[in-house]
Amino acid sequence: MFDGRPDITQLPDLAEGAGRVGPVRTRMPIYVDLLPPCNNACPAGENIQEWLRLIKENQAEAAWRQLVRDNPFPAIHGRVCYHPCETACNRVELDGAVSIHSVERYLGDLAIENGWRFNPPRNNTGYRVLVIGAGPSGLSAAYHLARVGHEVEIHDAGELPGGMMRYGIPEYRLPRDVVDAEIKRISDLGVKIVLNHPVHDLLEEQRAGRFDAVFIAIGAHLSKRVEIPSMDAGKMVDAVDFLRDVASGEKPKIGRRVAVYGGGNTAMDAARSAIRMGAEEAVIIYRRTQEQMPAHAEELADAEQEGVKVHWLRTISEVSEEIEVEVMELDEWGKPRGTGKFEKLPADTVIMAVGQMADTGFLRNIPGLRFTDDVVQVDPASLMTDVPGIFAGGDAVPSERTVTIGVGHGKKAAKKIDAWLNRRQESPKIKHPIVGFDDLNLWYFGDHPRSIQSELSASERVQDFDEVVKGLTSEEAEFEARRCLSCGNCFECDGCYGACPEDAIIKLGKGHRYRFDYAKCTGCATCYDQCPVHAIEMIAEK
């Protein structure tokens, strides 16, 4: 009798065989749990498939609580995450990826509407942790640390918490009441957020507050500089400063014609915000091609819908009464080079969006810390610096700079800080194999096209900073959740139970799946052949 769940990373592939049944059984079916590609691709480490399953079961609050075990900001992420989970989704090969981000937003908005709160920690460990920065990474770390009973204090230089979620992402993408609601849950959990408090001496701050560990989670709030000859420096402003001023309720004077220099998401936000601030014309100047643009394609599409023009293969050479730009071309290695040809463009304001840096200057006096340019070097496995007890993540370390990656770093750092404080050695987790599209049996799933979120028209958008993209209804969210293929994990469809010719499959009741009666099983693989989600594998008989 086979007993126990095997190490599925070591299983031989015996699904294909010459004979289906012989006088002696040579193979046997087992139930497996494989890794869905959406879960694998999520930088925040969400168990996406599970919270989608709970929505299918009409358990919305349970789905939200499953989600926030990993990520405290579903309403925020459902709006601003670039959802790599959807790029990885197997259903993209069928009729379009599951709209995971819109269902996540639905759960987040539902939680705000219903006043759902985090469960308080069950104990107080007595350890104190200092977090520098109240952006997505710092808030995430504080949340996960507080959940396991540590006392957490965040020190931030801003007037309000949220970091780039508040001051870098425009309201038409992320309303501030959503940011406030999801941050308030964290403070209600017992996290103390000290605002208007820039840190100048980290070691002294740690000593004075008797903190046992520190997590550095400062954002990339400094704009990179490029040397451009200018007859009127007043015409040039930094994108980060411009977006911060707009988010703070100020009305920067930018004139009728605005040029934005850069090709990232910040450049798109600056151009779209400029139009909402009254600019009649907004153009983006980028020195490479559209294919090389770092901004996400959907951000460019939204900007162009709102009237933003893009000048590809152009670089600003001088700013005076007009902007002088040099026409570029790509060399044999795909890098831009000047052609010696110049054009003139009118502009009242030039917004510089050529990149951002983390303000790590206050850390330079700490013995033992290592830096690469503006970021702190950490052990990738633990996010701890070379100084014991000082960790760092988000924009402060080498990584892609997005809200979701920052939140994922906060979760990871909290886990590692907790282990370090408790002198606990952690064994690395071995991931299950990822289940691919070709592993599935699609006979079970019909054609159900993806739900589309409604949006304001282009003419409506540019009138103000009202949110552009709308949320799903409960019916739409449930429909979208049901589009999930449950890749690699049994969802109790009864297919194996009904297909087995030997009655060798025993149904254990709702939520408990099935088990095999190997005294009856002949190893015919009928169950394996029909399983729609590849939750059954055939292995060699022992």
User: Domain boundaries in the chain?
Assistant: 8-33+490-540, 37-117+437-482, 128-221+367-421, 225-356
- What CATH number matches the domain at 8-33+490-540, 3.30.70.20, 3.40.50.10310, 3.60.10.10, 3.30.1490.20? 3.30.70.20
pLDDT of 270 strictly over 70? yes
What is the band of 24 on the pLDDT scale with cuts at 50, 70, 90? Answer: confident
- The CATH number assigned to the domain with range 225-356 reads 3.50.50.60
Q: What fold, for 37-117+437-482?
A: Fumarate Reductase Iron-sulfur Protein; Chain B, domain 2 (1.10.1060)
Q: pLDDT digits over 62-119, tens only? A: 999 999 999 999 999 999 999 999 999 999 999 999 999 999 999 999 999 999 999 9
Residues 479-511: tens digit of each pLDDT: 999 999 999 999 999 999 999 999 999 999 998
Q: What angle do CA 362, 269, 375 make, to 5 degrees?
A: 25
Asked if the domains at 128-221+367-421 and 225-356 fall in one CATH topology, the answer is: yes
Report d(CA 8, CA 351) in Å as an integer: 54
CA count, 13 A, side-chain hemisphere, 374: 16
- How far is 490 from 36, CA to CA, in rounded Å? 12
Which residue(s) pair with 391 in the sheet?
A: 215, 384
Strand duo 514-516 + 309-311: pairing: unpaired
User: Architecture of 128-221+367-421 per CATH?
Assistant: 3-Layer(bba) Sandwich (3.50)
Task: Note the pLDDT of residue 21.
Answer: 64
Q: Is the pLDDT of residue 416 over 90?
A: yes
Phi first, then psi, for residue 513 (nearest 5°) are: 65, -135
DSSP annotation of 311 reads: E
**429: pLDDT confidence band, cut at 50, 70 and 90?**
confident
Cα 209 to Cα 203: distance, rounded to the nearest angstrom: 10
Q: pLDDT band for position 224 (50/70/90)? A: confident
Q: pLDDT tens digits for 146-169?
A: 999 999 999 999 999 999 999 999
